[in-house]
Structures are given as structure tokens and as C-alpha cells.
Homo-oligomer: A and B are copies of this chain.
Amino acid sequence: TAGGLMRTEFISFPASYTVQQVIDEMRAKREEFSDYEVKYVFVTDSVGKLVGVLQMQDLLLADPATPLSRIIIEEVLTVNHRASLDELISFFEDYPLLGVPVLDDEQRLVGVVLRSDVQDAETDRITQEHLETQGIVGGDELRTMPLVLRSRRRLSWLSVNIILNIIAASVIAYYQDVLSSVIALAVFLPIISDMSGCSGNQAVAVSMRELSLGVVRPSEVFRVWWKEVSVGLINGLILGALICLAAWLWQGNIWLGVVAGAALAINTVVAVSIGGTVPLILKGRNVDPALASGPILTTITDMVGFFLALSFAGMLMDKL
């Protein structure tokens, strides 16, 4: 929040001061002020409410006897101390300012949020999200950290993943008889699993980016789903046709191609539907979408993909 990111070292003077008084006080506190990053000077009233901002040039060029109230810019852009990082990011996108004053609920000036601090926080968040989608959780990893810590942090994610993998692969165990009759299908199960995972991850990446840009809201699940279905249909049909062709050329049996191709095509639509919407749903429920979208996606698409391929093969058993 703005309250957490703001700096509480700022320069402010009462509106009753003259330019000369400001210059005198600035000269006296020169050492102290030189550490401050932004050179805005704020003007407040008797109870600490912000009434305006001064530009250095105006101070430089005005007559020393002028009261501050005469040269202040009164229309000052401000943010509330509870403003979120997202709100601060879009504020600095809208206005070319180096900093913005932070007001409490009584409109009193309590600090300044700098553009550079907001951007640092944004960079940290994007890096963190990326690491989380790749299974690095519980804080960033550097290779100089102790081996046991690095190993444990990665394992905390891998051990959840192996359980989900076993659940997904149990679909294959259930259809063992079909698979042993059509062993050629074993080649296509990992392809269907991996390709659907990739298609779904593309949809996750687009949703995560749209969420962080603020161009999509968690409530727009249905619109996003529809947008993904149309891409999924096109890409699923093309990829399904490719895999169908590969299977046909390899085994000389078009029905094997139809089974593998249809499973991949349908599962692509399933994968992008899940990948596109799950981040929105998780965000709407305040669960971190970067962390949870991937495992949900791959577990469901693996199960559905294996089920589709093996059940289609079961139906067409006499032709395979």
C-alpha cells in the first residue's frame, strides 16, 4: 500500500511562511534536506492538511516577501495511504511525476510515494510471480544459499506436484487393458499431455499479464473463456490434424491418428479454457494466481487428455 511504500522524510512549510522564511529554513537544514530524493516542497495548514505544492523554480524567482499561499500550486494530485500497489502503478502511468503526496483519511500529509519506489515494488512483484510459476516458492533462491535450504524450497513444490502427477496418471492405470491392446498409443499420451500443458500455460500467461495491467477483472471470466475457446478451437484443430497425420504416416492406420488427433484437439480447448479462467477465479478469491494456476491446469489437462485418448481408443478398439 501507499502507506507501506511511502517515505516519511519530506519538506513541508506552513502556508503562512514567506518565500524568505522558506529559503532561510532550507539553508539552515541544508544538510538534512540534501538526503531527500525528491525536491518537492509541500505547504500545509495549521492542522497538517495539504494545501499546495511549491516548485523550486517558483521559490527561486519569486520576491522574498511573497507569502507561500500566493505562489503555491493548489491543485495537487494525491493518493490515500491505503492505495494499493496496482493503484499506484496506474497513477504513475497516468501522470509524469516523480512522487505523489500521501494523505491520511483526514487529508493530512503523512508522506511521499516516489515513482522509483513504486517501480522497484512492481519489478519485485513481476520477478516473484515468474519464479512462482516456475516452482520457486518461499522466497527467492540464489545459488550461494545453503544446499539444504535450496533443496527444501524446491522440494516443497515438487512434492505437491508428484502427488498431483500420480493422481493424473492414475487415469492411465484405469485404462491399462485398452493401452496394452493399442500400445502405439503410449507414444501419444506424453505428447497430448505436454502440448495441452503448453497451450494452457500460454492462456495463463496472457491472463496473468492482463490482470497485472488491469485490463481484465476477475468478474470477466465468461468473456475470457469465450475468447480462449475461439483460439483453442483453431489451434486445437491444427495441432490435432498434425498429430493425426504423424500417427497415420507412422502406423499406416488412420484411426489411430483420429484417436490421437481428436483427443489433442478437444484437450487443447479444455486446456486454454482452464488456463485462461483459473487465474481470474483465483484472483477473485484472493488466492495467488501465479502459484496455483499451473498445478491445477496440468493436473486437470493430463487427466482429461489421458481419458479422451484412451476412451476414444476403447470405443474404436476393433479398428485399431
Q: B157 and A205: CB pair below 8 A?
A: no
Q: A27 and B143: CB pair below 8 A?
A: no
Chain A 104-136 residues near chain B, CB threshold 8 A:
115-116, 119-120, 122-123, 126-127, 129-131, 133-136
Size range of the chain A interface in the assembly: 35 or more
A44 touches B (CB below 8 Å): no
Q: Which of A136, A143, A202, A216 has the most CB of B within 10 A?
A: A143
Q: A210 and B154: CB pair below 8 A?
A: no
A49 touches B (CB below 8 Å): no
**Choice from B27, B119, B143, B180 contacting A119 with Cβ under 8 Å:** B119
A151 touches B (CB below 8 Å): yes
A4 touches B (CB below 8 Å): no
**Choice from B38, B147, B191 contacting A169 with Cβ under 8 Å:** B191
Question: Given A168-B190, A189-B189, is A143 in contact with B227 using a C-beta cutoff of 8 Å?
Answer: yes
The smallest beta-carbon distance between A92 and chain B, in angstroms, is 8
Q: B190 and A302: CB pair below 8 A?
A: yes
**Choice from B120, B134, B147, B188 contacting A201 with Cβ under 8 Å:** B134
A interface, over-half SS: helix
The smallest beta-carbon distance between A132 and chain B, in angstroms, is 9
A217 touches B (CB below 8 Å): no
A47 touches B (CB below 8 Å): no
Proximity bits, A167-203, B CB within 8 Å = 1, else 0: 0111011001001100110111111011100110110
Compute how far the CA of A168 lies from the CA of B195 in the bound complex, rounded to whole angstroms.
12
Compute how far the CA of A72 lies from the CA of B134 in the bound complex, rounded to whole angstroms.
50
A16 touches B (CB below 8 Å): no
Residues of B within 8 A of A70 (CB): none
Residue of chain B at shortest CB distance from A59: B60
Q: A140 and B209: CB pair below 8 A?
A: yes
Q: A147 and B230: CB pair below 8 A?
A: yes
**Choice from B96, B116, B151 contacting A98 with Cβ under 8 Å:** B116
Question: Given A202-B134, A209-B140, A216-B143, is A190 in contact with B162 using a C-beta cutoff of 8 Å?
Answer: no
